[in-house]
Amino acid sequence: MSAQAPSAVILIRAEKFVPNPATAADNAFQHDAPQGQTAEATAAAALAEMDAVAAALRAAGVTVHVFADEDHTRPDSVFPNNWLSTHPGGYVAVYPMYASNRRHERRGDILEMLKSTYRLQTIVDYSGLEPDGIFLEGTGAMVLDHVSRVAYTAVSHRADTLVLERFCSDFNYEPMAFHAVDAGGVPVYHTNVIACIGTEVALIALDMIPDEQRRREVRERLEVTGREVVALSETQVREFAGNAVELCGRTPEGRKRYVMAMSGRARRSLTGPQITTIERSCEIISVDIPTIELAGGSVRCMIAGVHLDPRSTRAPEPTETAEAIDEAPVSADGQV
């Protein structure tokens, strides 16, 4: 398993999807459903898009865990990466969420699946910070370099630096916080709309970091790891080109297959040279998800990667000692 590119993911089959009115105020990427389109039609279209993403990832050899959600009070549950992240070594983090109607997206059955299917040691729960108005929305707020242990974070009220420091201390990451804004000066609401870090390539909208020195430091920090940096424009970011994620699948012959998952809209915004750079290290897999993108997130937001070692699916072979214990002992007088 690659440290950066997980081979398994969690998706939520949100049957009552609609763009969340509680998140519209600070999410410049969010839009209303087309005028006249019913909530039922919107939800049905989003469900078909989610199923298409799951099918594309499975076809690439990625393990996909799908959880159904019929709750109409969780319009954004299709984006589980905001409340959950997993980490090599058996660690899981649960995060404090900004919108109050998103806080019950956290699900015990997903955590129980991780416990039973993967080697999980510790769950660190930061959700108790919500009453204090302190938020860090998972791998939406942070884009993590799992290899060099860096947490790239665009500061916003969804990414508080205090809880970022706490997460980095608990999980042994280096915090790399910066301010990022669009052309109108509006802060970027989630880091993962402007940046994606793969094993050998990084996509990032450096020009949206207004501080020239910090912009240079972020680029140098990415390049020192040996990654090739693909600079995205703000126009491409608005097409969700930054909202991608590298995964590790398998070919039919069982060989590793690195893929970069993104939306069709995102891929169409990339230039030929950018695509060439990305595909030197991983194959681009794209799926059109226009309905889900109305909520202000794209393919990366839909995916909670599983960076955990799976448990063995077969019973262990008994050792010689265990076999000796299992043999029926015979006493000196011949009695069993």
Q: Per-residue confidence at 335, pLDDT binned at 50, 70, 90?
A: low
Sign of CA dihedral 195, 88, 76, 302: positive
DSSP 254: S
Cβ-based neighbours of 245, under 8 Å, separated by 6 or more: 196, 260, 261, 262, 299, 300, 303, 305
Q: Residue 183 has what pLDDT?
A: 92
Q: Per-residue confidence at 36, pLDDT binned at 50, 70, 90?
A: confident
pLDDT-above-90 percentage for the chain? 82
Q: Per-residue confidence at 325, pLDDT binned at 50, 70, 90?
A: very low
Q: Residue 316 has what pLDDT?
A: 53
Check whether 128 has a pLDDT greater than 50.
yes
Contact (Cβ atoms closer than 8 angstroms) between residue 163 and residue 177: no
What is the rounded distance in angstroms from the CA atom of residue 193 to the CA atom of residue 232?
11
Could you report the per-residue pLDDT of 293-303, keeping only the tens digit for each? 999 999 999 99
Tokens of 286: 């794209």
Could you report the per-residue pLDDT of 79-127, keeping only the tens digit for each? 999 999 999 999 999 999 999 999 999 999 999 999 999 999 999 999 9
Q: Residue 205 has what pLDDT?
A: 98
Check whether 74 has a pLDDT greater than 80.
yes
Cβ-based neighbours of 26, under 8 Å, separated by 6 or more: 156, 157, 158, 187, 189
| Long-range contact pairs involving 119-122 (C-beta distance under 8 Å, separation at least 24) | 119/90, 119/308, 119/309, 119/310, 119/311, 120/90, 120/91, 120/92, 120/308, 121/89, 121/90, 121/91, 122/90, 122/91, 122/92
Query: What stretches of the chain show up as alpha helix (H) in DSSP?
Result: 39-59, 108-117, 138-141, 161-171, 212-223, 234-238, 264-269, 272-279, 299-302, 320-326
